[in-house]
Amino acid sequence: MCIPKAPSMPSAEEQAQSQLKIQRELQADADSRAAEQLDAERKKAAVAQQRSRRGRRGRSSLITQRTGGLLGITEQSGLGSDFKTLSNQ
């Protein structure tokens, strides 16, 4: 009867090289996934920006914001801010 011989163990250097190779492959895979995800997010943002630009066309773009407040009053002490002066004296 023949007893099978156990395979020889790889050297520490071979193990380190194979582990480094696996790590590099995993890192490259993770980098490519991150790049794809970033590209997809950029495309979504570009589409959203184009949609928001479309909404600004037409009548809404003709209305400009006023620099003053309500009814053109720019002062903070505008209408009804001091109730003592509104008495019936």
72 belongs to a structural domain: no
Number of domains composing the chain: 1
Whether the model pTM is above 0.85: no
62 belongs to a structural domain: no
24 belongs to a structural domain: yes
43 belongs to a structural domain: yes
Q: Whole-angstrom Cα distance, residue 41 to residue 66?
A: 35
For residue 70, what pLDDT is reported? Answer: 57
The angle formed by the CA atoms of residues 27, 32 and 33, to the nearest 5 degrees, is 100
State which residues form the domain around 18.
13-54
64 belongs to a structural domain: no
30 belongs to a structural domain: yes
Q: Report helix, strand or coil for 58.
A: coil
Per-residue pLDDT of the chain (89 residues; tens, 9 = 90+): 578 888 888 888 999 999 999 999 999 999 999 999 999 999 999 999 888 887 655 555 555 665 655 555 555 555 555 556 655 65
Non-local CB neighbours of 18 within 8 Å, separated by 6+ positions:
10
Q: Residue written as tokens 């620099």?
A: 67
Which secondary-structure segment (H or E) carries 17?
helix 12-55
For residue 50, what pLDDT is reported? Answer: 87
38 belongs to a structural domain: yes
8 belongs to a structural domain: no
